[in-house]
């Protein structure tokens, strides 16, 4: 007799070949009868249901789009490693995007990740799901949902006071009034919210999961947790899996073709459909244009020594165009219209482009298209310590550009050489 869920099957003695066929048939039958959160796993001749559990995370609301992408990687790597442990039944619920500081339009909250990224590509690295998938899996849409356990991560104050950092965590008194926005869903709450003083890699949170029988666990202020190994092969696997939404990629490709005489075939930037089939190379040449990321606004105010004025930026861009014998420049910037118009006038002897959508797009989608176009240029120059620039540099590493065409910066009063982090396979 074999069983799966509520199904019982009686078996007579059969040959080895028939036995193997029976295993396959029983497995298929079991898989189709397990509902919602249960998964059927083959174990010799048995099929056992496994209950899924869920890790949620959220980030300090003022943090920007590209820092949020980095925090995603920390937690994607966390659950990726769980697949090889007795906690392999955890899924990572992707936090819906909220209206961010750099997004000017009054965009709706709770934007899904698939609006920006290829979800199937993300799933090839880690067991991730959208929030609406979570609602569907637990068969709840409008009822109240109580997350079993919420941990608000906070820094150890004494570590910053003494400068002595060590990996540890413990439940402590909250440094500020405990609060979480629950992604601005009115039907999500929790009766268990605690502050967890934490210093260490994201994988150290595994201890919390091991000591809990909760089905749903939320880590708020997830940016407090650090990368396990920044820049190693696992880091780059997670990063390579972050392929952009295909529709946004097509909009960027159409713009490159129309205005920049650029295509993947001509530029040597073709990638396999599956990121897992990528191999190391340095053969990309890029489109015949210079791309520039000029960060203004908060950087111009808070980092005046690192960010050039509009006149200085125009001078540096002109010099690069002359050195590279290029006549076209693409500019991604958060500057005001007045600043951009002034920059365009100072570069009037060249063809200057920026991406302006002809159809309604969210500010986040426009930022993604800007990054795609910048990453395909023959030569890229960015803004010092901007995560927007970092993400473009990573895209160029994935496509295989020579390092000297990627790790460059516009200079303010000082001009330290940018950090270089090479891709690892």
pLDDT of residue 297: 86
Identical fold at 53-233 and 246-405? Answer: yes
Helix (H/G/I), strand (E/B), else coil: 288: strand
- What CATH number is given for 246-405 in this structure? 3.40.50.11350
| Residues 184 and 144 sit within 8 Å (Cβ to Cβ) | no
Catalytic residue IDs: 63
Q: What is the predicted pLDDT for the residue at 97?
A: 92
Sheet of strand 128-129, all strands in order from the earlier edge strand to the far edge: 128-129, 90-93, 53-57, 216-220, 149-154, 193-199, 168-172
In angstroms, the CA 52 to CA 38 distance is 7
Domain spans of the chain, in order of start = 53-233, 246-405
Q: Which fold has domain 53-233?
A: Rossmann fold (3.40.50)
> 136 in helix, strand or coil?
helix
pLDDT digits (tens, 9 = 90+) for 255-301: 999 999 999 999 999 999 999 999 999 999 999 999 999 999 888 88
Tens of pLDDT, residues 118-147: 999 999 999 999 999 999 998 876 688 999
Lowest mean pLDDT among 103-112, 166-175, 199-208, 295-304: 103-112
Q: Render the burial of 216-250: b for 16+ CB within 10 Å, e for the rest.
A: bbbbbbbbbbbbbeeeeebbbbbbbbbbbbeebbe
Alpha-carbon gap, residue 372 to 143, rounded angstroms: 40
| pTM summary value | 0.86
What's the rounded Cα separation, in Å, for the pair 333 and 123? 31
- pLDDT of 304 reads 83
Lowest mean pLDDT among 151-165, 346-360, 372-386: 151-165
Q: What is the pLDDT of residues 309-364, one digit of tens each?
A: 999 999 999 999 999 999 999 999 999 999 999 999 999 999 999 999 988 899 99
C-alpha to C-alpha distance for 69 and 223, rounded to whole angstroms: 11
């Amino acid at each position: 007799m074999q069983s799966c869920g509520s199904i019982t099957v009686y078996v007579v003695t059969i040959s080895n070949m028939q036995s193997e066929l029976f295993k396959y048939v029983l497995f298929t039958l079991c898989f189709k009868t397990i509902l919602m959160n249960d998964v059927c796993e083959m174990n010799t001749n048995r099929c056992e249901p496994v209950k899924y559990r869920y890790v949620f995370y959220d980030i300090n609301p003022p943090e920007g789009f590209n820092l949020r992408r980095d925090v995603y990687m920390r937690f994607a790597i966390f659950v990726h490693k769980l697949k090889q442990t007795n906690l392999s039944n955890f899924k990572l619920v992707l936090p819906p995007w909220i209206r961010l500081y750099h997004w000017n339009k009054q965009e709706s909250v709770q934007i899904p990740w698939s609006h920006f990224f290829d979800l199937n590509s993300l799933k090839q690295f880690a067991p991730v799901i959208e929030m609406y998938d979570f609602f569907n899996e637990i068969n709840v849409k409008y009822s109240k949902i109580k997350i079993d356990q919420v941990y608000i991560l906070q820094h150890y104050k004494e570590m910053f006071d003494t400068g002595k950092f060590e990996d540890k965590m413990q439940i402590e008194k909250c440094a500020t009034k405990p609060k979480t926005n629950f992604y601005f869903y009115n039907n999500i709450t929790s009766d268990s919210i605690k502050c967890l003083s934490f210093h260490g890699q994201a994988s150290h949170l595994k201890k919390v999961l091991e000591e809990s029988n909760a089905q749903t666990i939320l880590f708020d202020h997830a940016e407090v947790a650090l990368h396990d190994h920044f820049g190693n092969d696992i880091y780059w696997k997670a990063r390579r899996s972050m392929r952009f939404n295909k529709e946004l990629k097509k909009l960027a490709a159409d713009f490159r073709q129309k205005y920049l005489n650029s295509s993947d075939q001509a530029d040597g930037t073709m990638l396999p459909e599956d990121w897992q089939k990528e191999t190391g190379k340095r053969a990309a040449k890029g489109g015949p244009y210079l791309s520039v990321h000029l960060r203004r606004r908060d950087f111009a105010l808070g980092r005046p020594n690192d960010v050039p004025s509009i006149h200085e930026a125009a001078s540096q861009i002109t010099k690069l165009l002359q050195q590279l014998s290029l006549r076209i420049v693409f500019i991604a910037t958060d500057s005001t219209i007045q600043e951009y118009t002034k920059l365009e006038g100072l570069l009037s002897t060249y063809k200057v482009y920026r991406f302006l959508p002809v159809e309604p797009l969210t500010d986040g989608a426009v930022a993604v298209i800007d990054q795609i176009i910048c990453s395909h240029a023959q030569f890229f120059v960015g803004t010092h310590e901007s995560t927007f620039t970092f993400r473009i540099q990573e895209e160029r590493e994935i496509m295989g550009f020579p390092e000297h065409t990627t790790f460059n910066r516009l200079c303010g009063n000082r001009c330290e050489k940018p950090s270089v982090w090479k891709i690892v396979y």
